[in-house]
């Protein structure tokens, strides 16, 4: 269970990090959207896990490598923005949040012709004998 302090620190990091990453994307790669979907901070506030959603997903791996390699630079920029709110900036670890892609795959599967919810007779073919 997260404390109020952890939630506040995570909220500050999420807001400012979103602005930093979006301005970096605007100046660099065209047609890419990055959003910070979640930030969770450890109890001792030494580590922040940052979950990013990147669209289109095809460019996600390349962008994640770039973001991770520029981690110290991003941390410095974030520290400059939050210096009046936080004394120490936690270490940042970036993870790809592919939940939107997962939801899209489920929706696509439900719209297909061989959807067992729409055609229950397909379930008979799927039973293991």
Evaluate if residue 129 carries a pLDDT over 90.
no
CA distance 80 to 84: 9
Q: What is the mean pLDDT of residues 67-91?
A: 91
Question: Do 109 and 89 share a domain, yes or no?
Answer: no
Question: Do 109 and 74 share a domain, yes or no?
Answer: no
CA distance 94 to 67: 8
CA distance 64 to 39: 16
Question: Do 92 and 40 share a domain, yes or no?
Answer: yes
Specify the 3-state DSSP secondary structure of 97. Answer: coil
Question: Do 73 and 103 share a domain, yes or no?
Answer: no
Question: Do 53 and 114 share a domain, yes or no?
Answer: no
Question: Do 32 and 62 share a domain, yes or no?
Answer: yes
CB 88 within 8 A of CB 48: no
Counts of helices then strands in the chain (DSSP H, E): 5, 3
Question: Do 22 and 73 share a domain, yes or no?
Answer: yes
| CATH at residue 50 | 3.30.300.20
Range of the domain at 75: 4-97
CA distance 100 to 37: 10
The structure's pTM equals: 0.76
Question: Do 103 and 92 share a domain, yes or no?
Answer: no
Question: Do 34 and 57 share a domain, yes or no?
Answer: yes
Question: Do 85 and 129 share a domain, yes or no?
Answer: no
| Structure confidence by residue, pLDDT tens digits, 4-60 | 999 999 999 999 999 999 888 877 766 788 899 999 999 999 999 999 998 888 888
CA distance 99 to 64: 16
Question: Do 9 and 71 share a domain, yes or no?
Answer: yes
> Order of strands, edge to edge, in the sheet holding 91-96?
33-41, 47-55, 91-96
């Amino acid at each position: 269970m997260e404390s109020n302090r952890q939630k506040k620190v995570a909220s500050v990091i999420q807001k400012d990090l979103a602005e930093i990453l979006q301005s970096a994307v605007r100046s660099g790669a065209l047609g890419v959207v990055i959003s910070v979907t979640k930030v969770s901070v450890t109890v001792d506030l030494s580590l922040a896990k940052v979950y990013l959603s990147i669209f289109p997903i095809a460019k996600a791996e390349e962008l994640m490598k770039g973001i991770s390699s520029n981690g110290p630079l991003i941390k410095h920029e974030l520290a400059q923005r939050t210096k009046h709110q936080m004394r120490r900036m936690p270490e940042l670890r970036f993870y790809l949040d592919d939940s939107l892609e997962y939801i899209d795959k489920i929706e696509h599967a439900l719209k297909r012709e061989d959807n067992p919810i729409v055609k229950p007779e397909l379930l008979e073919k799927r039973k293991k004998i």
